[in-house]
Amino acid sequence: MKTAFLGLGRMGQGMAHRLVEAGHDLNVFDLYPEQAKSLVEAGATLSPSIAEAIVDSDAIITMLPSDGVLEAVVTSAGGLLESMQEGMTHVMMGTHGIGIVRKLTTLHTEAKQVFVAGHVLGRPDLAATGQLTIVPAGPTDTVERLQPIFDVLGKQTVVVGTDPQSSTAVKIANNFVLGAAIETMGEAMSLVRKLGVDAKLFHKILTNGLFGAPAYEVYGKMIAEEAWDSIGATAIIGLKDMNLALEAAEAAQVPLPSAAIFRDRLLGAIAHGEGELDWAVAAREQARGSGLE
């Protein structure tokens, strides 16, 4: 398939490499063209503008760092809305909020363009190896048509609905469940530590019991070992994720107290200068509030 790929950050580069290596005819674009270097070497074409990147594309994938950049890429002069022909397809794969997704759904639909949200679960290492889980939502026939792309990028695809916001909901809710698990482990470990139990031992019991899953294995270990420096997502990124959850909760009119708690915890950690540590550092803020530090 002829594919355009806009946004060559860490996630984007890994995904674009998968596509070019799988034989897709790939045009790439980034505000910083030097990001495209290794992709061009691998066979992709670097386009000087969005408009040129998307010519004749079967799919235009965006993997952008923020709602603001995404909105600019779509609505600016020379952006997608202006440049896409009727019937062309924008597949948004970055992490974005319900508000912008609803807005783009309306705009693309009004312009008779097709919009699919194809959020992914997984970090750059999984992106680079095609091990993502992809949870697309959009018009059924388009989503089916995109399956070869998803097959290259992910280990599994679960279609979650026909309205793009359904994909966004799954992405955001998954991150929320993870954040709440980190909060809970932090609280529990402060509790057992103050009652004489080694946190690593408690972690072993948890994960040998009802909680033998990566969320608890990876983050529980980090918390038990106070290894905040091995950074996956920072506290500041975690805060952004919780804000996305709370924005979605407002849009859906769903009280979400566990997200509010973890958001406050991350704010406390950031207030103590720990915003650039892994978001598991929330557990340290919990320990501090319990008089453990």
Residues 174-203 that bind a copy of itself (CB under 8 A): 174, 176-178, 180-181, 183-185, 187-188, 190-192, 194-198, 201-202
Contact code string over 233-252 relative to a copy of itself, x by CB under 8 A: ------x---x-xx-xxxxx
Give the position of tokens 């453990």. Answer: 292
Q: CB of residue 210 vs a copy of itself: minimum separation in angstroms?
A: 4
Q: CB of residue 177 vs a copy of itself: minimum separation in angstroms?
A: 5
Binding residue for a copy of itself, selected from 32, 86, 87, 253, defined by CB under 8 A: 253
Q: Is 208 within 8 Å of 202 (Cβ atoms)?
A: no
From 2, 37, 112, 171, active-site residue: 171
Does 98 bind a copy of itself (CB under 8 A)? Our answer is yes
Let me know if 171 is a catalytic residue: yes
Helix (H) or strand (E) holding 68: helix 67-75
Measured between alpha carbons, how far is residue 42 from residues 21, 131, 152 in Å?
Answer: 7, 20, 16
Amino acid at 127: A
Q: How far apart are the first and last CA of the chain?
A: 56
Contact code string over 107-146 relative to a copy of itself, x by CB under 8 A: --------------x-----------x-x-x---------
Which residues 33-72 are close enough to bind a copy of itself by CB under 8 A? none
DSSP string across 209-227:
TTT-SHHHHHHHHHHHTT-
Q: CB of residue 118 vs a copy of itself: minimum separation in angstroms?
A: 14
- Beta bridge partner(s), residue 134: 120, 157
Q: Is 150 within 8 Å of 130 (Cβ atoms)?
A: no
Catalytic sites, residue numbers = 171
